[in-house]
């Protein structure tokens, strides 16, 4: 395995071959700085954006239209769509032109318009749907410069994490996934992906999720 550059909001401990740095997803200057820093050392073969926001203090998924708040919607779009899109803006140019490379952002099945049968969770659904569209457009543009690149969204399933914790009682038995299992399966899907699959959304088991 080559070098891993772990950019995160919170400090991450260094380890052999892992180089951590702090970045603010909502600060474009921070993203631009780190893209320039890493680009000075060469290209990046794989880029993964593992961000997401479903709830926060004074912010919960909306059950009905009456629950919508402009500030909560703006924050959901900022973290779930705009931030990853700005990562694409500054980092996709670091993918090599002449060989296979991969970019993935964590999306969600809940962002599929055709799969929405229950409604609710307005902001999160809409922001992830927006991210899926951004990935699609970025894949089309990137293919002109780097035809061997794959740009895709990945759905991890319901993972035992801070994001899902307030809602885990609603998860059917046996369907709450360990983080390490979800990560391993998504990496397998990403590694096996081809340019023909670029711009699409895939679940952790390799099945395509339609828009």
Looking up tokens 């055709």 gives 114
Q: Region 104-130: what's the mean pLDDT?
A: 97
Tell whether the model's pLDDT for residue 206 goes beyond 90: yes
Dump pLDDT digits (tens) for 53-72.
999 999 999 999 999 999 99
Q: What is the pLDDT of residue 51?
A: 94
Other beta carbons less than 10 A from residue 197's beta carbon: 18
Looking up tokens 């990137």 gives 142
Nearest CA-CA partner of 65 in 112, 126, 114: 126
Nearest CA-CA partner of 81 in 24, 124, 113: 124
The CATH number assigned to the domain holding 121 equals 3.40.50.720
Dump pLDDT digits (tens) for 83-114.
999 999 999 999 999 999 999 999 999 999 99
User: For all residues of the chain together, what is the average pLDDT?
Assistant: 95
User: Per the structure, how many domains does the chain have?
Assistant: 1
Dump pLDDT digits (tens) for 185-204.
999 999 999 999 999 999 99
3-state secondary structure the chain: CCCEEEEECCCCCCECCEEEEECCCCCHHHHHHHHHHHHCCCCCCEEEECCCCCCECCECCCCCHHHCCHHHHHHHHHHHHHHHHHHHHHHHHHCCCCCCEEEEEECCHHHCCCCCCCCCCHHHHHHHHHHHHHHHHHHHHHHHHCCCEEEEEEECCCECCCCCHHHHHHCCCCCCECHHHHHHHHHHHHHHCCHHHCCCEEECCCCEECC
Q: Region 34-48: what's the mean pLDDT?
A: 96
Dump pLDDT digits (tens) for 138-185.
999 999 999 999 999 999 998 988 889 888 888 888 889 899 999 999
If pLDDT is split at 50, 70 and 90, which confidence band does 132 have? very high
Tell whether the model's pLDDT for residue 4 goes beyond 80: yes
**Enclosing domain of residue 199:** 4-209
Nearest CA-CA partner of 59 in 70, 44, 50, 51: 70
If pLDDT is split at 50, 70 and 90, which confidence band does 1 have? low
Q: What is the pLDDT of residue 165?
A: 86
């Amino acid at each position: 395995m080559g070098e891993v550059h772990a950019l995160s909001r919170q400090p991450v401990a260094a380890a052999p071959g892992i180089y951590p740095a702090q970045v603010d997803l909502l600060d474009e200057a921070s993203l631009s700085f780190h893209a320039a820093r890493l680009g000075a050392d060469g290209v990046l073969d794989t880029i993964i954006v593992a961000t997401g926001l479903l709830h926060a203090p004074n912010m919960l998924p909306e059950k009905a239209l009456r629950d919508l708040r402009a500030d909560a919607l703006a924050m959901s779009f900022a973290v779930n769509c705009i931030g990853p899109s700005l990562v694409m803006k500054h980092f996709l140019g670091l993918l090599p032109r002449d060989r296979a490379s991969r970019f993935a952002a964590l999306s969600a099945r809940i962002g599929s318009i055709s799969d929405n049968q229950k409604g609710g969770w307005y902001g999160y659904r809409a922001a992830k749907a927006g991210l899926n569209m951004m990935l699609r457009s970025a894949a089309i543009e990137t293919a002109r410069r780097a035809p061997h690149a794959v740009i895709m969204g990945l759905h991890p399933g319901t993972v035992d994490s801070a994001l899902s914790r307030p809602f885990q009682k609603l998860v059917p038995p046996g369907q709450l996934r360990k983080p390490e299992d979800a990560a391993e399966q998504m990496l397998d899907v990403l590694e096996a992906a081809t340019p023909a699959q670029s711009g699409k959304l895939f679940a952790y088991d390799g099945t395509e999720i339609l828009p």
